Homo-oligomer: A and B are copies of this chain.
Amino acid sequence: MKSIPGGTITSPGGFLAGATDAGLKARGGLDLGILYSEAPCVAAGLFTANRIKAAPVLLCQEHIANGKAQAIVVNAGCANACTGEQGFEDAAEMASLAARRLGLAAQDVLVASTGVIGTRLPMELIGAGLEKVALSKEGGHQLAQAMTTTDTSTKERAVSLEVGGKESIIGGIAKGAGMIHPDLATLLSFLATDAAIDAHFLEQALREAVSLSFNMLTIDGDTSPNDMVLILANGVVGNKIIEEGSADAEAFQAALTEVCIYLVKSIARDGEGATKLIEVAVEGALSAADARVAARTVAGSPLVKAAVYGSDPNWGRIIAALGRSGAEVEGSMIDLFLNNICLMKGGLPHPFDEDEVREAMKGGEVPIRVCLNLGSFSATAWGCDLSEEYVTINSAYRT
């Protein structure tokens, strides 16, 4: 597996994309885009766990049910959520308009929206905007831009890998800076590959990659009705179809997971108001579930996040978060490391140079490592610090 510098979702063969300023975002900028594959794709998707599902999520679930798709149309600025039957009709109309523009059946177009909840999609702007979208091999960057809301940067990644003796590429983009929490009520992410992949294995690989990446990301504990991760595989490299259990499947799984983790770290780094990436590794848990929930709880604790923001090695808050996580923990067994410096050993404070730790915590990444010393399971979660800016952004988002 090799990273592709400047790679994005259109790096794999046969994918084009483009975006336009359709006038949907209050502050202007690209806000409507299309991802298009020149060949039909095997497709898989995972959708928000929120019980209130936005219209585009409901539509996508219908369109992807046959395991096929050939394009994704996405807009920012309006989430088309809590819009009732009218909202569903608008999402379907958006798919139809894009399909007509691309010469596809509406069923083969997936739809995603992000932005303010509870207002109708301005269908005239969407219709006019779709006419303006120009597709190109470089368009992935524009598409990544068009799906952002409060993001301050795009999230893009591509890697190459060899499958069946041919070079294949996996590219991905993502969007998300707030309303982000595990269990795939997360954000929008689109992934594409030019490898030929068995539909069943593609969904399974996506599930596995997401469980190790997007579902281990927490920004603020909130989740959105709109969020989804979609993957399209068009097979244009002509490899033997990748099936479960093969060596190619293993390589593909590793590469897909890498792309997802890269995107997740980019999102955490760009969390609303974030100044630092927090990576929490929990080791020695009694079960995988324990390791996951412990890592996620620490990464999501407002008090831990605020302490990291202040470069304050207040490890008591990490211990308190572990204690309430629901994971099996034994106070007297815990070892704790912040920026690779031991702060706690066997459940008791371990002498450390406070200035040294504070200095280390001032960097852009703060790794927290917890050894529970009870079993053999581990997990890693990602999040960001909590700054005054998070509050400022979210107390006046709509104004």
A residues touching B (Cβ–Cβ < 8 Å)?
49-53, 79, 81-84, 116-119, 178-179, 181, 185, 220-225, 300-303, 306-307, 309-310, 312, 314-317, 319-324, 328-329, 331-332, 344, 347-349, 386-388, 390-399
Question: Which of B49, B323, B393, B398 is within 8 Å of A225, CB to CB?
Answer: B323
CB <8 Å contact, B222 and A321: yes
CB <8 Å contact, A312 and B388: no
A302/B82 contact (C-beta < 8 A), A51-B324, A52-B320, A319-B52 known: no
CB <8 Å contact, B391 and A84: no
Most buried by B among A306, A309, A322, A331: A306
- What CA separation (Å) do A390 and B305 show in the bound complex? 12
A312/B396 contact (C-beta < 8 A), A222-B302, A317-B222 known: yes
CB <8 Å contact, A329 and B220: no
Most buried by B among A82, A84, A118, A314: A82
CB <8 Å contact, A394 and B303: yes
A387/B394 contact (C-beta < 8 A), A51-B324, A222-B321, A324-B49 known: no
Chain B positions within 8 Å of A84 at CB level: 332, 347-348
- What CA separation (Å) do A84 and B49 show in the bound complex? 41
Chain B positions within 8 Å of A391 at CB level: 306, 309, 386-388, 390-391
Question: Which of B51, B329, B332, B396 is within 8 Å of A310, CB to CB?
Answer: B396
Q: How far is the CB of A88 from chain B (nearest CB, A)?
A: 11
CB <8 Å contact, B399 and A312: yes
- What CA separation (Å) do A390 and B394 show in the bound complex? 14
Chain B positions within 8 Å of A306 at CB level: 390-391, 393-395
Closest B-chain residue to A273, C-beta based? Answer: B391
CB <8 Å contact, A117 and B316: yes
CB <8 Å contact, B307 and A394: yes
- What CA separation (Å) do A91 and B223 show in the bound complex? 42
CB <8 Å contact, A324 and B81: no
Closest B-chain residue to A313, C-beta based? Answer: B398
- What CA separation (Å) do A45 and B33 show in the bound complex? 59
Q: How far is the CB of A228 from chain B (nearest CB, A)?
A: 15
- What CA separation (Å) do A301 and B256 show in the bound complex? 32
- What CA separation (Å) do A225 and B319 show in the bound complex? 9
Closest B-chain residue to A226, C-beta based? Answer: B320
Q: How far is the CB of A268 from chain B (nearest CB, A)?
A: 16
A302/B81 contact (C-beta < 8 A), A179-B320, A397-B312 known: no
Closest B-chain residue to A50, C-beta based? Answer: B323
Q: How far is the CB of A306 from chain B (nearest CB, A)?
A: 4
The 3 closest A-B pairs by CB, nearest first: A117-B316, A310-B395, A52-B323
- What CA separation (Å) do A322 and B315 show in the bound complex? 32
- What CA separation (Å) do A179 and B317 show in the bound complex? 9
Can you report 20 residue pairs joining A to B where beta carbons are below 8 Å apart? A52-B319, A53-B331, A79-B316, A81-B316, A82-B316, A82-B347, A117-B315, A118-B319, A178-B303, A185-B324, A223-B320, A223-B323, A225-B319, A225-B320, A225-B323, A303-B394, A310-B396, A386-B395, A387-B391, A388-B392
A319/B82 contact (C-beta < 8 A), A324-B50, A324-B185, A397-B314 known: yes
CB <8 Å contact, A331 and B386: no
CB <8 Å contact, A221 and B301: yes
- What CA separation (Å) do A332 and B329 show in the bound complex? 42
CB <8 Å contact, A322 and B388: no
- What CA separation (Å) do A332 and B58 show in the bound complex? 14
